[in-house]
Structure 1
Amino acid sequence: MDLRAKLTILADAAKYDASCSSSGSRRKGDRNGLGNSEGIGICHSYTPDGRCVSLLKILFTNHCIYDCQYCINRVSSDTPRARFVPSEVVALTLDFYRRNYIEGLFLSSGVIRSADYTMEQMAEVARSLREDHGFRGYIHLKAVPGASPELIERAGLHADRLSANLELPTQPDLDRLAPDKQIVTVEQTMRHIHARREQAEEERRGSQRAPTFVPAGQTTQLIVGATASPDAAYLAAADRLYKNHGLRRVYYSAYSPIPRPDARLPAKSPPLWREHRLYQADWLMRHYGFSASELTTPDAPDLPLDHDPKLAWALRHRALFPLDLNTAAREALLRVPGLGVHSVDRILAARRVRPLRVDDLARLGASVRKVRPFVTALGPNPEAHTLDRVDLQARLVPARQLDLFAAPTPRVVTPDPAASRLLVPVPDALPGALPTAGPALGRLT
């Protein structure tokens, strides 16, 4: 099979892996090497200044000895197969980079022969790029669960990021659909990466000449909707991984039906809104001080689709509101719907100068419509005493969003040709906005 045919098969097979991450590495270029991963995001990610950057995203091979029923590359699948050798991946990466098509490499793989053999092949790709060709661009490798610590060490010394995919949130889920995988094995690999990374950071504090180890950290992926596990199980798994293994990100990927699926798999994908709500809840855990157990309840283990998880939490805890904008602690303000991290920091800075009114929130970047029922401030705010009104949710959730869930069939919108000629500024993404592509990063306030 020629290289072009291999690339066609293995690039297409890589599209199911969502754990391609933005940068976090600081691998500066030099005059003796190729590339620079300083200050850029990778894998069609957007940098703060609006640049979109990309990487070569491929599988080393789609041959696999495992029979994970949700995976198109499982051993029992009849999908066309292909396999690179390390020198071919190196040549492709350098050729694409020199043509200015990419700024890095994301390399995953099916498991061939054994976890050690597969990890050795991918580690050799990274080693050759770094040592033989002086490549200084971004490299993200898949860490194969169960591979020996020595091979993980070899890969981590050359890669910017590693990711060992958990795929499903509980062991019974894996037993049902991926009997060759064990959560304990995946987490052992994560634990080794985390411990070795902390060791490398400690060595770097003593000497800047000490080698780095996975400077951009590690990530993982969870497939949403392939089993009946509720959102609470996904959030509990993510919370555990963040706390125990220092993961940089958990990626949630809605299950996508594959050709000739097993009868144990659902017939269709879950709503994309479910994936989006999990990303929002994940953001609350990482940046707003929420725990996984707070975002769902035993009676409602799934996140609501018609409004964001922060608003859902506030509606369940109305007794805690309203909060006084001029006296409430930062941790309490972060739990007010409509207030984001930057808005809260601006409130704390502004109230040192003078007492705040509710109307000041608009100038501080907050959503006044969402915040008003949950706060008090200097001057009257009648809406602060309407928290028990039955129409509160309807007033806080945009009508167009409620219509989306109430409509029995999808609505067809006919574009207005005149509208395309209007130059209307595009506002920031709303908390409830559905992502159009890629992992949902929906800003949640």
Structure 2
Amino acid sequence: MTTQGTVDLGEFQFLSGETISSLEVAYETYGEFTGDNAVLICHALTGSSHVARRPDAGDETAGQARAWWGDVVGPGKAIDTTEYYVVCANVPGSCYGTTGPSSENPETGEPYGTDFPPVTVGDWTRAQRKLLDELGVGRLHAVIGGSVGGMNVLDWLRRYPDDIGCAGVVAAAGRLDAQVLALDTVARRAITSDPNWNGGHYYGGPEPADGLARARQIGHIMYLSKASMSRKFGRRSAGRETVHETSPDPAAAFFPYREVESYLDYQADKFVDRFDANSYLYMTRAMDDFDLSAGYEGDADALAAFEGELLLLSFTGDWHFTVEQSEALAEAAREADVNVAHHVVESDHGHDAFLVEPEKVGPPLSALLEDGLKGRLITDTDDEDDSDSFAPVHTSLFSD
């Protein structure tokens, strides 16, 4: 059973203090609700509510080309929709059906643009809680999310700790470090310096496509590791016949158009067709603003009220959200007496690993949902005696 819909939550006050008269939230559900089997999945920066494949609607929903976790969520998959009632909601500020900058402001009849209120991760969590109330879902069996969706999960733990049985935080951290903050700043400046941005009120006219394209390219560089970029592209030429139609400068024709350039141009071209530039500004600012310890004495204090189980997954090649940052979260959870496990995945795919390696992400999440942290992970062999406990896989990373 799958459903796709939009709920009008009515007047909504953001944590900034600003209010809009109507917040519509787009969502999808998968499976049947039995009262204690609900799993909320929180999407990443440019994701949507379309987390799993929908046989009734093909594999394209809300403008996103495919289900972003279609190999993890679904019938018989790691998050098994024949066992669990999965809910995924597009968050406020995005552009996939939930009210955001590109939505119509009922007071003016025009798109909000940058008149839309500032959005925080806390606003996402509060909107999700209100949506679940509308769906008749109280306590959740689990909340799971990756990247900034993992930050969304952490906000659930501090904001609604009694509503959650267990949580899975995948490739995330309690806050961004200065390097990622800096790169996000440059990405936003690429958008706001585009001559077509027009202060965010570009709807109905030329869009800041070049600025959004550059912002997305910066993002893709952050999501890949050195090893994966070397393996994928090296210094290879894409061939002169594949030169991008607009040369960046007159001398470019003398030099090779490299495969890495071709990849970045291709990804940028695809992205500007499906995402809104203002939403990119709003979503990255929400991510940059998140700090688990804000309003608390520290991360441990923020997690102290959560009495469920917490699984952290990190990836060795990820420099956007590092293994060390996940281990810092795990230490804070231990300090708060939260039952926590930190599973480190060996991968050279960078931050993208949580999306492109479902075979490594799915098993620990499946075990968490089925057995909690007592669950055990089976290796690539078929021998059940050859198994590993959750955490941490690479203890040497955290020893003196």
Please report the TM-score for the alignment, with normalisation by the length of structure 1: 0.24
Q: Between Structure 1 and Structure 2, which shows a larger proportion of strand residues?
A: 2
The TM-score with structure 2 as length reference comes to 0.26
